[in-house]
Amino acid sequence: MLFRSGEMLSLANNGVEILRLDAVAFIWKQMGTSCENLPQVHWIIQCYNALTRIAAPAMLFKSEAIVHPADVVSYVSWGEAPISYNPTLMALGWEALATREVRLLRHSMERRFAIQPDCAWVNYVRSHDDIGWTFADEDALEIGINGYDHRQFLNRFYSGRFAGSFAKGLPFNYNPVNQDMRISGTTAALAGLEAALQSGDSDQIEYGIRRILMLYSIALSAGGIPLLYLGDEIATTNDYDYGRDPAKAEDSRWAHRPRFDWARAEQRKSPTSLEGRVFQPLVKLIQTRKQTPALAGGQAVFFDSGNKHILTYVRGNVLVLVNFSDFAQTAPANRLRSHWQASQARDLVSGKTVDVTDGVTLAPFTFLWLQSS
């Protein structure tokens, strides 16, 4: 991240409007410390920010701080970086997919999602990097979860070493001393679609597609800037050829950094192809997001749906419900009414009218964007 101011301003002069501050929490090194989130980091960012406000006010900083959630937020401001990746939402989306429960995701978002109203999260399902389980241990402990043990479970689940796992992830940076590691893999591989394609199980293929769309429905509706990464739109699976390249073989992240397959991309135009079954619903979600002012700004209000499998939050007059379970689940009406008063609503995605008088039932791995009139 450290560069001369002239280089930064040259980028601005070439039209760069957002500058990513890579691994920003670690840019200052000092013997005898963890070299993480040191005060000097904030001083450096503030200096560069002040310079851009004077010389290139159209340029904004985007923070990439994959650290404790409280430290992530410390970089998000107009004095430093008004845009930031949201690693906690990303990691806990996968956590909820593995456990089929939203307790930790909801509990953490109630505490960690809110930022200054003139700043924005970048919400993503996957990126070019690995997945680290960056939830706060204290948040987990408050709902009876041991953070260390839970991370061990998630690593086993997403590397396919847990009984019943649907994931085809790969270990990254395994530490045999403390058992720490992270997970690599494309969204399709981690969401179970790759394994389903290998088995030929049509039901599991459907579930794999639903999981992908469900996770992206959150990234697109929770509030902020949604990010769609590298082939997820056509259900790209892991590329294992990296293991044949000595320069890449020791870095499993290359499994989810494949060359883009333009031949497969052509298949996205068919609604019955695998690619089309992912691409076309994603396009619909993006179009719906663009056409819905309530999803354009502000903060999501997360609340307890009364069902441990259903994530619920409100964006203006839009109620979002997401079912992380393999089975149909119902959010009871009394819990919904605590934050949303409508008795009938229109699902923005399907266009159907939904009666919420007696609660809302969702099919496995599905979601609703309900807008009141």
DSSP string, 272-332: TSHHHHHHHHHHHHHHHHHT-GGGTSS--EEEE-SSTTEEEEEETTEEEEEE-SSS-EEE-
| pLDDT value, residue 317 | 93
| Structure tokens belonging to residue 72 | 């992530």
Residue whose entry in the numeric block shows the structure tokens 């890449």: 248
Q: Per-residue pLDDT averaged across 215-241, rounded? A: 96
Spatial CB neighbours of 163, under 8 Å, sequence gap ≥ 6: none
Q: Per-residue pLDDT averaged across 359-363, rounded? A: 97
Distance of CA 40 to the CA centre of its chain: 29
| pLDDT value, residue 4 | 72
Spatial CB neighbours of 371, under 8 Å, sequence gap ≥ 6: 292, 294, 317, 318, 319, 345, 346, 347, 348
Give the residue with greater pLDDT, 342 vs 67: 67
Q: Is 7 helix (H, G, I), strand (E, B) or coil?
A: helix
Domains within the chain, CATH numbers bracketed: 86-371 (3.20.20.80)
Residue whose entry in the numeric block shows the structure tokens 């001393």: 177
- What would the pLDDT profile of 249-295 be if each residue is shown by its tens digit? 999 999 999 999 999 999 999 999 999 999 999 999 999 999 999 99
Phi-psi label, residue 365: left if phi above 0, alpha if psi -120 to 50, beta otherwise: left
| Structure tokens belonging to residue 167 | 């994931």
Distance CA 24, CA 87 (A): 14
Per-residue pLDDT band for 6 (boundaries 50, 70, 90) equals confident
Query: At residue 91, does pLDDT exceed 80?
Result: yes
Q: Which amino acid is at 10?
A: S
- What would the pLDDT profile of 322-345 be if each residue is shown by its tens digit? 999 999 999 999 999 989 888 899
Sheet containing strand 367-371, edge to edge, reads 301-304, 310-315, 318-323, 367-371, 344-347, 353-355
Give the residue with greater pLDDT, 5 vs 373: 5
Specify the pTM: 0.95
- What would the pLDDT profile of 305-325 be if each residue is shown by its tens digit? 999 999 999 999 999 999 999
Measured at the alpha carbon of residue 96, what is the angle toward residues 322 and 217, in degrees to the nearest 5?
A: 35
| pLDDT value, residue 3 | 56
Distance CA 167, CA 181 (A): 16
| pLDDT value, residue 373 | 74
Rounded to 5 degrees, φ, ψ at 303 are: -150, 165
| Structure tokens belonging to residue 30 | 């000092």
Q: Is 170 helix (H, G, I), strand (E, B) or coil?
A: strand
Give the residue with greater pLDDT, 205 vs 8: 205
Q: Per-residue pLDDT averaged across 59-66, rounded? A: 95
Give the catalytic positions in this structure. Answer: 22, 64
| pLDDT value, residue 342 | 86
Query: At residue 297, does pLDDT exceed 80?
Result: no
Rounded to 5 degrees, φ, ψ at 357 are: -55, -40
The rounded mean pLDDT for the chain is: 95
Tell me the residue length of the chain.
Answer: 373
Q: How far is CA 83 from CA 61, 244, 273, in A?
A: 6, 38, 36
- What would the pLDDT profile of 101-158 be if each residue is shown by its tens digit? 999 999 999 999 999 999 999 999 999 999 999 999 999 999 999 999 999 999 999 9
